[in-house]
Amino acid sequence: MVMRPFSDVDLHAFVDDQVNPERRAMIASYLKTAPDEAARVESWRRQNEAIRTVFGSAASEPVPLWLTIGQVASGRERASTRPDHASDSKSSALRQRISSPHRQDWSKGWTACACVVLAFGTGLAVPYAAPQWAHAVERFLPVSPRVEQLHRLSTRTAEAQTTYGTDPDHPVEILDAPAGSLATWLKRHVGFSVRVPDLKRAGWTLRGGRVVPDDAGRAALMVYENAVGDRLSLRIGRINNPAPFDTSYEVTPGPTLVWMDGPLGFGIASSKEGSWLADNARDLYRAVYDSPES
C-alpha cells in the first residue's frame, strides 16, 4: 500500500487557500507527480467556482427564518411578557411569554451556530442561503409546524403588500371608511371577526381595507399610510391546522413581521426600506393589540 504524503484534509485546505505558503509549495510540488490527485483537486476547485457563481450573492441576503438562532435552538426561552393591561378575550393567548428580538440565549445559540457552520462545511446549507431556494428546506432540514406556518404567512403578507399595498391609486376596496364599518364589511366577506387597529399613535392612518386570497379561503388586508406617503399593510387570515403556538413574532426576509394568535395569522409589511421594519417590529406588534378595539 502506497502511503500518501497528504490527506484529503490537506488537499481541501490547499484548494480553499487555508495553508501557509511553505506547505502550499510542498502540496503543489506533490500534485505535479500525482496526476490522479491533481485531477481530484482540480474538480474540487471547479466545484467551488460553480458554487460561488450561483450563490455568491447569498452572503448579503437576510438569514432565512428557519436558520435563525431562535429557530434552530428551539429550546430558547421566551424573554418578555405582554403588558399587564391586556385583558380582552381575543388576545388572551398574549398572556403567554413573548420573545424579545434583542435577547438571545447564547449558550444555546452557539450550538445553533455550530450546526449552521457544519451544514455549510458539508455543502448542505448552500441551498438555504438564498430565499429563492426556500422550497429545499423541507427536503433537508426538519421544519417545525410553527416555522412552516410563519413562512407561509410571510409569503402571503409580502405578496399582498406588493400587489395591493403599493398600488398608488386603488390599494383598497373600501376607502376611508370608519374602522367599525370596515370591520363589519370585512367580517361579512372573510367569514371571521376582524379587528381593525387604530395605529395613529404609531404614525399610521387607516386608508381602508380589502379582501385578498388566502390558503384557507379569504384574508383581510388593511392598508395604512403615514404623513410622507409610505404604506403599511396588515394582513389577517385563518391558519390551516391551527395549533397552540405561542404568540411571539418574527421578522422574516422580505421583510415582513408575522405572528399567530389562536386560529389567526397576522402579517405586516411596509414600503419603507432597509431595517425599518425590524427596528420597529416590537412597537408595531404592541400597537396592533394596544389600540382601541373596533
Give 86 or 249, the one with higher predicted confidence: 249
Q: Examine the pLDDT at 89 and tell me if it is beyond 60.
A: no
26 shares its domain with 137: no
Could you list the residue range(s) of the whole structural domain that residue 32 is in?
8-54
Together in a domain, 127 and 218:
yes
Strand partners, 231: 225
135 has a pLDDT exceeding 60:
no
Let me know whether 50 and 85 are in one domain.
no
> Both 105 and 21 in a single domain?
no
- pLDDT of amino acid 55: 72
Asked if 33 and 112 sit in the same domain, the reply is no
Q: Is residue 244 part of a domain?
A: yes
Same domain for 220 and 250? yes
Percent of the chain with pLDDT over 90: 28
The answer on 115 and 82 residing in a single domain is: yes
Domain match, 48 and 150 both:
no
- Model confidence, pTM: 0.55
Same-domain check for residues 120 and 24: no
Residues 207 and 82 in one domain: yes
Q: Which three cell numbers stand for residue 195?
A: 379587528
Query: Which residues have a Cβ under 8 Å from the Cβ of 89 and sit 6 or more positions away?
Result: none
Mean pLDDT of 248-264: 87
Higher pLDDT, 294 or 217: 217
Question: Residues near 66 by Cβ (< 8 Å), separated by ≥ 6?
Answer: 72, 128, 137, 141, 143, 147, 151
Tell me, yes or no, whether 90 and 34 share the same domain: no
Q: What is the mean pLDDT of the chain?
A: 74
* 261 vs 248: CA distance, rounded Å: 9
Instruction: Quote the cell numbers at residue 10.
Output: 490537506
Q: Does 2 fall in a domain?
A: no
For the cut 70, the answer to whether the pLDDT of residue 100 exceeds it is no
Residue 267: phi and psi, rounded to 5, are -145, 135
Residue 234's nearest CA partner among 273, 193, 272, 265 is 265
Number of domains within the chain = 2
In this structure, the answer to whether residues 42 and 165 fall within a common structural domain is no
